[in-house]
Homo-oligomer: A and B are copies of this chain.
Amino acid sequence: MQKTVPHAAGLHRASLKKLHDLDAALELMYYGWRGMTLAADQYLATVGLSRPHHRILYVVARQPDVSIGSLIEILGISKQALNRPLNLLLERKMLTSKRSPEQHRSKLLRLTEAGKRTEQRASDYERKVVSEAFDRVGPRGAAAWMAVMGAIADNN
């Protein structure tokens, strides 16, 4: 008999009976998120980081000189939850933090070159997955995907 091989979730993507028209869509959302982040997460693991670190790097890359408080709001987590991954990134010199000249109360976060490289590589893995999928459906299909996702995202 064969050894039981650990199964990745997703192997049975198409195996479930569909009770409703939209069941396939629900499953695609689930496996789509996994599919998009899988390669990035694997890369991040090789450099000792994970999703929360990537989220921080992603935001700081797109909003340089963001304050800690703003970062907390954007990420939607508590400052205690931010603390560990943020400090790791500072220790690893992926981020710098300094008081601003005029607003000494708040600190400004920036990516170092190493931080930029790591953020780019991780995000590139995700963009690559999306890009290849978009290529298969053309610009109109990509636009439709964006429109659907926007409507779903704004549902709350």
A133 to B18, CA, bound (A): 20
CB distance from A116 to the nearest CB of B (A): 10
Is A102 part of the binding interface, using a Cβ–Cβ cutoff of 8 Å?
Answer: no
Q: Is the CB of B142 within 8 A of A61?
A: no
A: number of interface residues (CB 8 Å): 65
A8 and B156 in contact (CB under 8 A), knowing A26-B123, A29-B32, A127-B22?
yes
Give the chain B neighbours of A19 by CB distance below 8 A: 61-62
Per the bound structure, the CA–CA distance linking A13 and B58 in Å amounts to 13
Say which residue of B10, B74, B131 sits within 8 Å of A76 (CB atoms): B10
Contact (A9, B76) CB under 8 Å given A20-B123, A33-B29, A126-B26 = yes
Is A152 within 8 A of B35, CB to CB?
A: yes
Further pairs besides A16-B63, A22-B131, A145-B149: 5, Cβ < 8 Å? A13-B153, A28-B150, A28-B153, A39-B156, A129-B155
Q: Could you list 24 examples of A-B contacts with CB < 8 Å?
A: A9-B77, A11-B76, A12-B74, A15-B74, A16-B63, A17-B62, A17-B63, A19-B62, A20-B123, A22-B130, A22-B131, A25-B142, A28-B146, A28-B149, A29-B32, A29-B33, A29-B130, A32-B149, A33-B33, A36-B155, A132-B155, A133-B152, A137-B148, A144-B144
